[in-house]
């Protein structure tokens, strides 16, 4: 079913002076204005478009790139404030409204905010900073070690809060972070642990034996490229290990331990060395 506020691949039914008519199923035909129609477009082509609403709240298509779809979160900049609310730049010609009632704190022009995009009860697209109406504290349908999409939110005393798959709150503990992250950053992460109360603990690296075994081979390759020596040990700072290998200190220690047991490396005070 075609939904306003999301990307859809629609079939071109006919070309007119004002643009291309697209088949939107039960929604009928949707206009793609001429300025967005590809030069070689013809009836029968399928185009990836974003379906939004025009100034008269009629469905309309665009090839502009929206920074978020309905059901997604994003950090967006406030471009203006009026008597109905704040308007955000979300990549489309028509700005996105955050009604005053959907502002947790008053929004200011020029500042960015974390919002959730939704369709209101009139069918119009809007955004809200009251995220807890849509983002849950407890995991449903997730499993430990699962790869997930993260949107970095705010810092806490324990670490950094992140939105998981646009659906859940999760936490990256400070001692598990080996590279800086910033508000609004999108990145891949992993579910490290789901606590008994359903809260999600996150990690920026993959865990498990398979990861260690694969990484051990990378350590051997790095040693061979560096004349058989690397100035890293299990006593090295986590940041130095992450900067070199993009893994946690825990994974690094497990890998060099496995290599040492196989007599493939020796461990010296200043680093590790390929065994003779």
User: What order of strands is seen across the sheet that includes strand 96-99?
Assistant: 96-99, 85-89, 73-81, 112-119, 125-128
Residue at which a domain ends, from 39, 62, 85: 62
Q: What is the pTM of this model?
A: 0.77
pLDDT at 207 (0 to 100)? 65
CATH number of the domain encompassing residue 264: 1.10.10.10
| Residue 85: C-alpha distances to residues 100, 105, 114, 256 (Å) | 5, 12, 15, 57
| Count of the separate structural domains present in the chain | 4
- Taking only the tens of pLDDT, the chain with its 276 residues reads 788 999 999 999 999 999 999 999 988 999 999 999 999 999 999 999 999 988 888 899 999 999 999 999 999 999 999 999 999 999 999 999 999 999 999 999 999 999 999 999 888 999 999 999 999 999 999 998 899 999 999 888 888 999 999 999 999 987 666 667 889 999 988 998 999 999 999 987 766 545 667 778 888 888 999 999 999 988 888 888 888 887 778 788 888 888 888 889 999 989 999 987
Can you say whether the dihedral through the CA atoms of 90, 93, 96, 97 is positive or negative? positive
CB atoms within 10 A of CB 149: 15
Residue at which a domain ends, from 203, 219, 236: 203
Q: What is the SS3 assignment for 3? A: coil
Q: What is the SS3 assignment for 194? A: strand
| Residue 43: C-alpha distances to residues 18, 19, 105, 156, 233 (Å) | 15, 12, 48, 53, 63
Contact criterion met (CB below 8 Å) for 90 and 64: no
Q: Please give the full DSSP string across 63-79, using - where no structure is assigned.
A: -S--S--TT-EEEEEEE
Which residue in 62, 66, 184 sits closest to 115, CA to CA? 184
Q: Are strands 96-99 and 85-89 parallel, antiparallel or unpaired?
A: antiparallel
Q: Buried (b) or exposed (e) across 40-63, using 16+ Cβ within 10 A?
A: eeeeeeebebbbbbeeeeebbbbe
> Do residue 163 and residue 111 come from a single domain?
no
> Do residue 268 and residue 216 come from a single domain?
yes
> Do residue 270 and residue 244 come from a single domain?
yes
Contact criterion met (CB below 8 Å) for 148 and 191: yes
CATH number of the domain encompassing residue 153: 2.40.50.140
Element (H, E) at 87: strand 85-89
Q: Is 225 domain-assigned?
A: yes
> Do residue 245 and residue 267 come from a single domain?
yes
> Do residue 258 and residue 219 come from a single domain?
yes
Q: Is 140 domain-assigned?
A: no
pLDDT at 176 (0 to 100)? 65
Which residue in 106, 57, 96 sits closest to 75, CA to CA? 96
Q: Is 68 domain-assigned?
A: no
The range of the structural domain enclosing residue 187 comes to 147-203
Q: Is 175 domain-assigned?
A: yes
pLDDT at 150 (0 to 100)? 96
Q: Is 1 domain-assigned?
A: no
């Amino acid at each position: 079913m075609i939904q306003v506020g999301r990307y859809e691949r629609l079939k071109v039914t006919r070309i007119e002076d004002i643009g291309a008519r697209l088949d939107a199923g039960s929604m009928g035909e949707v206009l793609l204005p001429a300025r967005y129609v590809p030069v070689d477009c013809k009836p029968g082509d399928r185009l990836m478009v974003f379906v939004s609403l025009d100034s008269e709240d009629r469905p309309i298509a665009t090839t502009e790139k929206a920074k978020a779809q309905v059901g997604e979160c994003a950090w967006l900049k406030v471009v203006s404030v009026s008597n109905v609310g704040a308007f955000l730049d979300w990549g489309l010609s028509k700005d996105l409204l955050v009604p005053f009632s959907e502002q947790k704190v008053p929004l200011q022009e020029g500042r960015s905010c974390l919002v959730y995009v939704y369709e209101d009860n009139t069918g119009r697209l809007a955004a809200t900073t009251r995220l807890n109406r849509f983002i849950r504290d407890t995991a449903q349908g997730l499993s430990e070690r699962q790869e997930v999409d993260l949107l970095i939110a705010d810092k806490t005393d324990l670490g950094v809060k992140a939105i998981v798959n646009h659906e859940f709150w999760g936490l990256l503990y400070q001692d598990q972070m080996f590279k800086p992250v910033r508000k609004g950053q999108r990145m891949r992460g992993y579910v490290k642990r789901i606590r008994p109360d359903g809260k999600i603990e996150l990690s920026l690296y993959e865990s498990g034996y398979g990861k260690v075994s694969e990484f051990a081979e990378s350590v051997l390759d790095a040693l061979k490229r560096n004349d058989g020596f690397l100035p890293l040990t299990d006593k090295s700072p986590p940041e130095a290990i992450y900067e070199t290998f993009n893994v946690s200190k825990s994974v690094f220690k497990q890998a060099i331990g496995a290599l040492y047991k196989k007599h493939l490396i020796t461990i010296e005070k200043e680093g590790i060395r390929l065994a003779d």
